[in-house]
Structure 1
Amino acid sequence: MKTAIVWFKTDLRLYDNETLIKAIAQSEEILPIYCFDDSHFETTQYGFKKTGSYRAQFLLESLKNLDANLRKLGSGLLIVKGKPEVEIPKIVAEYKVHKVFAEREVAFEEKRTEKLVQTELFKLRCELETFSTSTLYHAEDLPFAKKDIPDIFTVFRKKIEQETSVRSVFSSPLTIASPIIPKLNLPTLKKLGLELSKIDSRAAINFKGGETQAKKRLNHYFFETKSLSSYKETRNGMVGEDYSSKFSAWLALGCISPRAIYFEIKRYENQNGANDSTYWLVFELLWRDFFRFMFKKHQTKFFLYSGIQNEKVNSKSLNEKLVSQWINGATDSDFINANMIELKLTGFMSNRGRQNVASYFCNELNMDWRMGASYFESQLIDYDVCSNWGNWAYLAGVGNDPRKHRYFNIEKQAKDYDKDSAFRDLWLQ
């Protein structure tokens, strides 16, 4: 019997999952697996846990939901823990798997792991086939070669919008034939080297992982509240659940795809009319694509001190006391402090907040921007490798910003975006 593995990574969904659909079409039995990669739970060179407890909790919830949805179709999720290049070949040998299907990676560490797995599978005469499933526009449909992707977002966006269209989505499978899959066996946070962090009751939104919750959030933001129609006006807000879509955490783990969101925007526009706000959410999804394609083009450069530029503008200093004050919301800026306390106690921060605290870290404190990016990696529920490191490099003046060195006047920003101090009063009580 032809058995295939579907190796789930940051594509934890059934709807619009090309990897899963292609595996079903080419095999008689499907074995869905998820590997807790030991390297994702190590401490980075900057001293932070690569995956903190907020994100790990969201991941565990997402996997639980994926397993439940797979079981409704006659399948389930097999969990392994260790190094993917060791654990996946073991399963291949045990189940006599002919092919492994997986999401295609773009960032350096993830690509390296993919290559290690492929090398080990080759020894077992098992093929690894990957699919591009995480962007709005398909990599193969770009109107330029990888090396020629414009480094300036506006140039990229205009050409894409003029010359490319979004591919249609893949329906969820109706049934999945699988070998008997044991009951879901997720590691505890403790097993992952983490402690449970309770999310503060002041959190803007209570994120719960999984495709089911992602669809619920989309329906709430679009059709129940019609908040999408005013997204452009409210997206720089800082207090409350509906000033922005808050899709980022589900997008980061692939509990929902950008294309699924795009076609729901189109459905919403048909029912409620299109305006600048409905377009603006597509615009933000394009930013997400842009950073993924930048990582394809520049690879390891986004993790270097000088980024994708040749010269470095901010200092490479490290002052542990200043870093600690920044992390714990004890700087001389109440606006920065409120944002950093929100991040520390909830695993989330508004887009406006992120830009300000990153600018402050790079420009006022004059620190190595990669340390700030690494703290975000550990702390954010919605951490996405390309968006996080791409945005930090941008704000540090070593990324894709055509203005070279973007500097935020923090006091002016506080006046503009927290006029009545509602945000600061909430977090600095």
Structure 2
Amino acid sequence: MKSKRILVWFRNDLRLHDNEMLVEALAKSESILPVYFFDPQYFHETRFATLKTGIHRAKFLLESVAALRLSFQKLGGDILLVHGNPEEFMARLVTDFDISEVYHHREVAPEETVVSTKMEDLLWKQKINLKHFIGHTLYNKEDLPFPIKDIPDVFAQFKKKTERDAMVKSCFLSPEEITFVENEDWGVLPTLADLGFEADAADFPDFAFTGGEEAGLEHLRELLLEGAEIHQKPVKNAGDKPGFSSRLSGWLSLGCLSPRKVYWKLKEAEAAFGGNANFNQILLGLLWRDYFRFMFKKHGIAFFQEPEEFEKEFFSPTENEHPDLLKWKNGNTGHAIVDRYMQELNTNGFISHTGRLLVSTFLIHILKIHWTNGAVYFEEKLIDYAPASNWGNWANVAGAGKDLKSKNTFDLEKQIKLLETLVSDTPSMV
């Protein structure tokens, strides 16, 4: 029997394609109420004197929500945009719109998990079920060859067993028809100023990322066409180029792109044009995303081998005003390659994985500054910030993650010499 009305709470899943939560809501309801909350807690200053969300990601988020709104409008509806935290408004929405059930995607990082738990308790008091979906990973947890508690902590073992024994499911199709709950006021999309930013066009470079499902799908299409050209041209292995990045991560982090969509489109390209090193790097990146999310699901904060030291630094940071930390943030360390990457991060909200390894290694192992300071700075600056991947990568570079066999072996000086030889004076967005 269909529920009368289902509230579909969008979070980091801003797409129509491959969205099981949306597909099931449509199948089990007479009408749906899509909702997105612009939660103030994600736009405040942290105890590290950084922002939870910097201007580049805020711009990308606004574009992504606007794109989702347009998709719903083309189907004759809209998405309700609420300026406030879900704990404050959800109970009223459930009552006002006579909601029978609420659907949402569960996150794995502590702060996001707390929000889900609070919401579950709040709705339970109203005798409303909060149904959880997991739509951020390439592999569904039930399709893994091991239960969550037995997932290997060593990435190489996770990769080997998963690729051998698990299967990537097909994508859910985008809905062609949606019946929306009747509503007269769908809310206004905030501006950057509404979110507390002072910005103008000069703050964003010409090649800045554009958020949204269609932009992500178009970028993926162009990326795979480039792969076809790489296959046809007798060039040096592109995977050997320092700083290679597919630049898909921003759309993946907000769920504008499904990892399964990327996987199956890539497999289509491989079938048509053959494989290459860049395609392999994309697949490897998808596996790392899964690994870190499942590690946080398995361990929580215990993923960090130094939980007491982590909590001390995280809750009472002592190095906010350290001169070397400030120079690192501003790209003024005096080390040309490190500074180039940090200036690029500050300007564009993005640097390649190679760049991230280099600047994090420099901060931790050369400047001897605790890694949490770098992780929260990346949280502010990155367009593609995702809690599990960001904190997991920083912990691994610091040697504080669970994968003891993959502790940081990044040779800073060797990498610097290589980059000085191969990286031109233009920005290294490749």
Is TM more than 0.5 here? yes
The answer to whether the aligner puts 1:245 opposite 2:250 as a matched pair is no
Q: Go from structure 1 to structure 2 and tell me whether the alpha carbon gap of 1:285 and 1:233 turns closer, same or farther (over 3 Å shift).
A: farther
Q: 1:194 aligns with which of 177, 194, 197?
A: 197
- How far residue 225 of structure 1 moved from its aligned partner, in angstroms, is 5.8
378, 386, 406: which one pairs with 2:388? 386
Instruction: Give the letter aligned to residue 412 of structure 1.
Output: K
8 Å contact kept, 2:363–2:374 = yes
Within 5 Å, which residues of 2 pair with 1:138-153? Answer: 138-153=140-155
CA distance in 2, matches of 1:232, 1:306: 44
Deviation at 1:276, TM superposition (A): 4.7
1:38 maps to amino acid: P
Alignment of 1:233-382 (within 5 A): 233-235=237-239, 237=241, 243-302=244-303, 306=307, 318=319, 320-382=322-384
Residue 143 of structure 1 aligns to a residue whose secondary structure is coil
Give yes or no for the alignment of 1:14 onto 2:16: yes
Determine if the alignment matches structure 1 residue 3 to structure 2 residue 14. Answer: no
Is the CA contact 1:153–1:290 (under 8 Å) kept in the aligned structure 2? yes
CA distance 1:232–1:263, shift in 2 (3 Å): farther
- Taking only the aligned residue pairs, the percentage that are identical comes to 40
Displacement, 1:382?
0.7
The answer for the alignment partner of 1:169 in structure 2 is 171
Is residue 364–residue 398 contact of structure 2 (8 Å, CA) maintained in 1? yes
Equivalent residue letter for 1:190: A
Q: What amino acid does structure 2 have at the position aligned with 1:196?
A: A
Residues in 1 aligned to 2:8 and 2:420: alpha-carbon distance in whole angstroms: 46
The equivalent position to 2:188 in structure 1, one of 177, 185, 188, is 185
State the alpha-carbon separation in 2 of the partners of residues 351 and 322 from structure 1: 22
For the 8 Å contact 1:70–1:77, the answer to whether it is kept is yes
Aligned residue for 1:389, secondary structure, equals helix
In the aligned structure 1, how far is the partner of 2:374 from the partner of 2:364?
A: 8
| Change beyond 3 A, Cα 1:332–1:306 | farther
Q: Deviations over 1:35-62 (max 9, x none)?
A: 1112111211211110011000000000
Tell me by how many angstroms 1:197 deviates.
6.2
Question: In structure 2, the residue corresponding to 1:119 is in which secondary structure?
Answer: helix
Q: Report the CA distance shift for 1:282/1:426 in structure 2 as closer, same or farther (over 3 A).
A: closer
Distance 2:325 2:187 in 1: 40
C-alpha displacement of 1:244: 2.7
Map Cα deviations across residues 198-235 of structure 1 (whole Å, 9 max, x no partner).
566767x4210000000100111113663675999435
The answer for the alignment partner of 1:396 in structure 2 is 398
Q: Secondary structure at the match of 1:80?
A: strand
Question: Could you give the per-residue CA deviations for residues 41-94 of structure 1, whole angstroms, max 9, x where no partner exists?
Answer: 121121111001100000000000000011111221110122211212211111
Q: What's the TM-score once normalised by structure 1's chain length?
A: 0.90
Instruction: Report the AA paired with residue 164 of structure 1.
Output: A
With 171-180 and 405-414 compared, the bigger mean Cα shift is at: 405-414
Amino acid at match of 1:57: K
1: CA distance, partners of 2:379 / 2:200: 16
Cα distance in 2 between the residues matched to 1:200 and 1:418? 28
SS at match of 1:29: strand
Is the partner of 2:404 in helix, strand or coil? coil
Q: Is the 8 A contact 1:301 1:308 kept in 2?
A: no
Structure-2 separation of matches of 1:186 and 1:9: 15
- Could you say which residue in structure 2 is the equivalent of 1:209? 211
Q: Is the 8 A contact 1:18 1:133 kept in 2?
A: yes
Contact 2:238–2:278 (CA under 8 A) maintained in structure 1: no
1:193 is aligned with what amino acid?
Answer: G
Q: TM-score scaled to structure 2, two decimals?
A: 0.90
Partner Cα distance (1:244, 1:363) in 2: 24
CA distance in structure 2 between the partners assigned to 1:200 and 1:304 by the alignment: 39
C-alpha distance in 1, partners of 2:17/2:215?
A: 13
**May I ask how many residue pairs the two structures share in their alignment?**
417
Q: 1:85-134 CA distances to partner (integer Å, 9 max, x unpaired)?
A: 12122111110100011112111111110011111111122111011100
Q: CA deviation at 1:196?
A: 2.0
Deviations 1:378-409 (A, max 9, x none): 00011111110000000011014434652544
C-alpha distance in 2 between matches for 1:55 and 1:227: 31
Closer/same/farther in 2, CA of residues 304 and 53 from structure 1, 3 Å limit: farther
The one-letter amino acid of 2:192's match is: L
CA distance in 2, matches of 1:173, 1:139: 24
Q: Structure 1: how far apart are the matches of 2:42 and 2:304?
A: 16
Structure 1's unaligned 5+ residue stretches are none
Residue identity opposite 2:225 in structure 1: F
C-alpha spacing 1:214/1:146, structure 2 compared with 1 (3 Å): same
Q: Measured at CA, do residues 164 and 274 of structure 1 come closer, stay the same or move farther in structure 2, by a change above 3 Å?
A: same
Give, in whole Å, the separation in 1 of the partners of 2:55 and 2:303. 25
Aligned to 1:88: 90
Q: 2:22 and 2:230 mapped to 1: Cα distance?
A: 30
Matched letter for residue 384 of structure 2 = D
The residue matched to 1:175 in structure 2 has which SS? coil
- Unpaired runs of 5+ residues, structure 2, are none
Distance 1:268 1:184 in 2: 41
Structure 1 pair 422/174, CA: closer, same or farther in 2 (3 Å)?
Answer: same
C-alpha contact 1:81 1:87 (8 A) present in aligned 2: no
Shift of 1:346: 1.1
Asked if the contact 1:19–1:102 (Cα under 8 Å) also holds between the matched residues in 2, the reply is yes
CA contact (8 A) 1:61 1:208 kept: yes
How far, CA to CA, are the matches of 2:71 and 2:10 in structure 1? 14
Identify if the C-alpha distance between structure 1 residues 302 and 83 changes in structure 2 by more than 3 Å, giving closer, same or farther: farther
CA–CA distance in structure 2, aligned partners of residues 279 and 422 of structure 1: 25
2:76 to 74, 77, 98: 74
In structure 2, distance between residues paired with 1:198 and 1:302: 40
- d(CA) in 2 for partners of 1:397, 1:197: 40
Q: CA deviation at 1:339?
A: 0.5
1:92–1:301 Cα change, 3 Å = same
Task: Provide, for residues 233-290 of structure 1, a one-character-per-residue CA deviation record: whole Å limited to 9, x for no partner.
Answer: 4356468xxx431100000000010000111011112211234543332222111100
Taking only aligned residues, the RMSD between alpha carbons, in angstroms, comes to 2.6
Q: CA deviation at 1:177?
A: 0.4
Counterpart amino acid of 1:45? R
